[in-house]
Copies of this chain bind each other. A is one copy, B any other.
């Protein structure tokens, strides 16, 4: 059992590590050479140019910051990160990012008052007992602060009971307020948005096949008949998987060509390569010529495939993006059922063009339900039985196994130092690799399920990941056993006993979770701000590949918020906080430090680093809300289980009311706020339509929407000039200065309005 002293040592160590990371970050970010690692967002926005081109006077100053004064205020980034007001931040980084930050703020809002109350009331109540001492059980000072220190049947438990009510009500109150605010922000965001193609567009799937008409004709006829006066145009979806592969391959070859040419320039010696498998086998050839000819060859194939896709009716998928004359028409089409057969002509709001997940657009209805079943079962097994394959790999990956499979390695492996390394390292390796790969695996599962937008994929994956964390990290740490063993326990215990068994174990695990919060939370967040991976990758690329400003632009990897793996982790802290709020309040300050630190760090990252991949308008908030509610209910059930062993009979019925009320609260919120995240109210779209019609009477919507929903592969094929002239209509207007700036970095006006005008002009010229 850890004593307060142990915890203090652990905390000190973690604080030192975290502070060291932060200091290192503060130092590195000041070096101009790292500018593109720590401030890529500004480069993408076009407001910051490379120091190389900024005309620095001293050569060294290009790479190292020599200004001593700037080092003195090395923590200045923190207040700077907090300064930007929300509205500006939405302009700067989109609503998704701002609402993502709100999750941390919600954490602070929930737990600060809870901590104050818990420390003012529960801690003294727990402390002024001597149950643990009188029982002579092994215990730590931390346990003296927890509920374990209260004697059996004491009336003091009533305080915990009351606190459970207070905490529940406070959490629900904060959650409701937040839901309200987020919903309002979303609506304001949607209302203030400029014209976007997805506002006018509906995605239609499962278009039935017709022997007489092509998909395109069918769509046109169907919507002309059933939405007369509203239908404008449509864009069929092509099966471009092969074409996309070719484009990808060409890009790779181009990369190699660039690399070889750079090598040639430096060494003045023409590099060679082999034509065979991964350049390892086959005959030597001149690399530059080889890659050039390959690129040409693929280019031809690509052009052919392009033609084929556009001509062949078989490459047209039974899905289409249908655009309407007004937002009202699109809102109506998206919210209504089209035919009496609910499995064909499925309509839904089109995701914004860059959010579309193209590969899944053609999956038919029956296949979708089958896929969902398969993934449901697969996820169940992954969740509860994931230890089995890992244990299997572990048994394979022992020394004897390796020696048997690869006998020639035997003398090497038998070296004592290597042997001990393998023995110490290998068994854990499989598990570690699995856990690192897990979010990706879950993402693949979600992709297989057939969702059609990146944002929905991320949300679905986040749900899966949270379930996994809940069973395997949270419950797994408490019940100490794999989820498989747990499953066995749950099945063989009564519904009454499960919360009891887990509840009783909870106070004992407090110290473990405190350590977990410090390592995973504090140090993890401090590592995030350092961006070690991006730092190394950028400098490697910068050293080996970069020759032009454009290359440097491409070497820069701003990354983005990976909602699907970061959000479930935050939820774990909510869960811990709510579960331990009544049981061991000492955990709360550690969680609060995490929330505060993460809030500052992610705010900084969002302002300076991350580049949003899409904008869903905070559609993930209902999921966040649901998971906090889940955590709340779990905490109530576990407290119920714990108190039922403490000799206070009145506690059980009193506590049973809480989950019922919480579930009801959730239902209420769902009815009250969720529609704002799912549907598009007619009043709002009508207002926008009317306004716009009054302002721009002669706007050519058809031209504006022309290529908005064309597969990106068709667009990236065009020359840049064309791309710039054409694509902005689809992408630029949404959040100014996005994709274009990845390729060329024009200095742009901050004002999106004038930008939009120029885009319109360019569109109207066509």
Contacts and interface: CB of A to CB of B under 8 A. Distances in A.
Contacts of A331: 336
A660 interface: yes
Nearest to A347: B682
Interface string A659-682: 010001001100111111001111
Contact of A339 (B490, B492, B664, B683): B683
Contact of A337 (B495, B497, B680): B680
A261 interface: no
Copy tally for this chain in the complex stands at 2
A187 interface: yes
A425 to B, nearest CB: 36
Contacts of A134: none
Interface in A178-193: 187
A336 B336 contact: yes
Given A331-B336, A495-B495, A680-B337, A342 B490 contact: no
A377 interface: yes
Interface in A88-114: none
Nearest to A491: B496
Given A332-B336, A337-B681, A369-B668, A676 B342 contact: yes
Contacts of A340: 187, 676, 681, 683-684
Given A491-B496, A496-B492, A686-B225, A339 B681 contact: yes
A275 to B, nearest CB: 50
A758 interface: no
Given A494-B494, A496-B492, A338 B683 contact: yes
A623 interface: no
A336 B332 CA distance: 7
B373 A664 contact: yes
A227 to B, nearest CB: 8
A660 B667 CA distance: 26
A228 to B, nearest CB: 8
A91 to B, nearest CB: 22
A226 interface: yes
Contact of A338 (B365, B366, B682): B682
Counting chain B CB atoms within 10 Å of each CB, which of A366, A373, A492 scores highest?
A373
Contacts of A227: 682
Contacts of A664: 369, 373, 376
A329 to B, nearest CB: 10
A493 interface: yes
A335 interface: yes
Contacts of A679: 336-337, 342
A493 B498 CA distance: 11
Given A494-B493, A671-B342, A377 B660 contact: yes
A339 B684 contact: yes
Nearest to A336: B335
Nearest to A343: B672
B369 A667 contact: yes
Contacts of A336: 331-332, 335-336, 679, 681-682
Interface string A270-304: 00000000000000000000000000000000000
A567 to B, nearest CB: 24
Contacts of A338: 681-683
Contacts of A671: 342-343, 365, 369
A496 B495 CA distance: 10
Contacts of A494: 491-495, 497
Contacts of A496: 491-492
Nearest to A679: B337
Given A226-B683, A343-B672, A494-B491, A337 B335 contact: yes
A45 B680 CA distance: 47
Contacts of A372: 667
A83 B503 CA distance: 66
Contacts of A335: 335-337
A373 B661 CA distance: 8
Interface string A627-645: 0000000000000000000
Contacts of A369: 664, 667-668, 671
Interface in A490-536: 490-497
Given A222-B683, A369-B664, 17 more contacts: A227-B682, A335-B337, A336-B682, A338-B681, A340-B676, A340-B681, A342-B671, A365-B671, A365-B672, A366-B668, A369-B667, A369-B668, A490-B495, A491-B495, A493-B495, A494-B494, A494-B497
Query: Would you list the 10 A-B pairs with minimal beta carbon distance, nearest first?
Result: A342-B675, A337-B679, A335-B336, A339-B683, A373-B664, A491-B496, A337-B681, A369-B668, A340-B681, A187-B340
21 contacts: A227-B682, A332-B332, A332-B336, A335-B336, A336-B679, A337-B675, A337-B680, A337-B681, A339-B683, A339-B684, A340-B681, A340-B684, A342-B679, A345-B683, A365-B672, A369-B664, A373-B664, A376-B664, A491-B496, A494-B495, A495-B495
